[in-house]
Copies of this chain bind each other. A is one copy, B any other.
Amino acid sequence: MHNNFKRDDQMQVGLIGISGYGGTQLYQLLKHHPHIDNIHLYGHDLTKAKPVNQVIPGLIHESGTLVPYDANQIMAENDVVFFATSAGVTTKLAKPFLEHDFPVIDLSGDFRLKSGAMFTKWYHKQAPATAWLQQAHYGLADFSSAEQSNYIANPGCYATATLLGLAPVVMHQWIDPTSIIVDAKSGTSGAGKQLSEMTHFSNTNENLQIYKVNQHQHIPEIMQQLQCWNSDISAIQFTTTLVPLTRGLMSTIYVKVKTGISEQQVEQSFEQTFADKADIHYCHQKLPMVKQVVGTNYCDVGMVFNPVTKIITIVSVIDNLIKGAGGQAIQNLNQRFGFSLNQGLSLEPIWP
């Protein structure tokens, strides 16, 4: 590998895309990471340098500067680069980093799928070359290690909450593999800073808007990972509803249990699966609310077994910008560079 960063060094990191909500959150986390010395900011569509505090209304107290994008400069100045860019950008920009085997953590969806055809189908954009897609690591950090990878595709927010909630049930063989239904709810920060009718305050407030039923672009990455865990699963039902809050995501999941499986077996699977996961908090039958994780890197999961319908209701909650974006990117950084998994992620919930 190109990169010769040593565990005891302090890192230099690059970030492209600080002006998006995920990028801002990632920047705030990087600032407090004990192994990071400097964060260099690049704007992929800038022609001249610009102060951070003129670009992001929420970062008015920052003194840093965004400079125009230059791949060679980025590789020269940093040990790793983060892309918090929107769909389609890294497809165009990643080439030099891949060619130099330079460490990249990509928060966009461009490199999450192994199949370029699937990417094009769900994202309606040109896909990266298949060889590169194959090489990229899908960084669901609590269940995989980015240790050996130099291109890490950070999972989507809906995918993260849903996969972590489903892990115990799909890894074991006690569910009807055709029965998975996901009813996910998210606040507006997941939709980004781009203005839209759906996120205009007068439209979002006092409203519930269901969208992209069976068409959400996180569906294929969920399916891809589920099939790694359990090849019997051939499809899921997946729905997203926009609710009037800014931060937070709840994935409510319904799964039918095979005949003969007891509540105790189900309970045990959850306990065992999460036993060694520091950032996944299993709440047993006390279903979690969104607010208990907002501001943190936790994914809290609860579960209720219905003996009449044999359906278990799983509730998985995350802060979509932390566990669902910037926080998990830090976990991937930690794995890749040999730091402990939750380094820099000792965060406090926003309460109230």
A residues near B (Cβ < 8 Å) are: 21, 24-25, 28, 31-32, 56-61, 178, 181, 183, 185, 187-189, 193, 195-197, 199-210, 213-214, 235-237, 239, 241, 243-248, 250, 252, 254, 281, 283, 287-292, 294-296, 298, 300, 304, 306, 308-309, 311, 313, 315, 317, 346, 348-352
Contacts and interface: CB of A to CB of B under 8 A. Distances in A.
Contacts of A315: 210
A31 B351 CA distance: 15
Given A201-B201, A244-B244, 12 more contacts: A57-B289, A59-B349, A60-B288, A60-B292, A181-B181, A188-B205, A189-B202, A199-B201, A200-B200, A206-B290, A207-B291, A350-B350
Contact of A296 (B25, B31, B61, B196): B61
Contact of A281 (B61, B197, B245, B350): B61
Nearest to A183: B183
A288 B58 CA distance: 11
A308 B215 CA distance: 12
Nearest to A308: B235
Contacts of A250: 208, 210, 241
Nearest to A27: B348
B61 A349 contact: yes
Contacts of A254: 181, 183, 237, 254
A232 B7 CA distance: 63
B59 A28 contact: no
Contacts of A313: 213-214, 237, 239
13 contacts: A24-B351, A60-B288, A60-B292, A61-B296, A187-B206, A188-B202, A199-B200, A203-B352, A205-B244, A206-B245, A208-B245, A241-B250, A244-B244
Instruction: Name the residue in A60, A244, A254 with the highest tally of chain B Cβ atoms < 10 Å from its Cβ.
Output: A60
A191 to B, nearest CB: 8
Q: How many copies does the complex hold?
A: 4
Contacts of A281: 60-61
A289 B207 contact: yes
A247 to B, nearest CB: 7
Contact of A237 (B203, B306, B346): B306
A338 to B, nearest CB: 24
A348 B208 contact: no
A208 B239 CA distance: 16
B208 A21 contact: no
B58 A248 contact: no
Nearest to A204: B201
Given A213-B304, A348-B28, A351-B58, A246 B292 contact: no
Given A213-B304, A300-B60, A208 B349 contact: no
Top-9 shortest CB links A-B: A58-B351, A202-B352, A28-B348, A207-B291, A183-B183, A195-B195, A201-B204, A208-B290, A188-B201
A236 B185 contact: no
Given A181-B311, A195-B200, A205 B246 contact: yes
Given A200-B195, A309-B178, A245 B300 contact: no
A282 B35 CA distance: 32
B214 A58 contact: no
Given A199-B200, A199-B202, A208-B248, A352 B213 contact: no
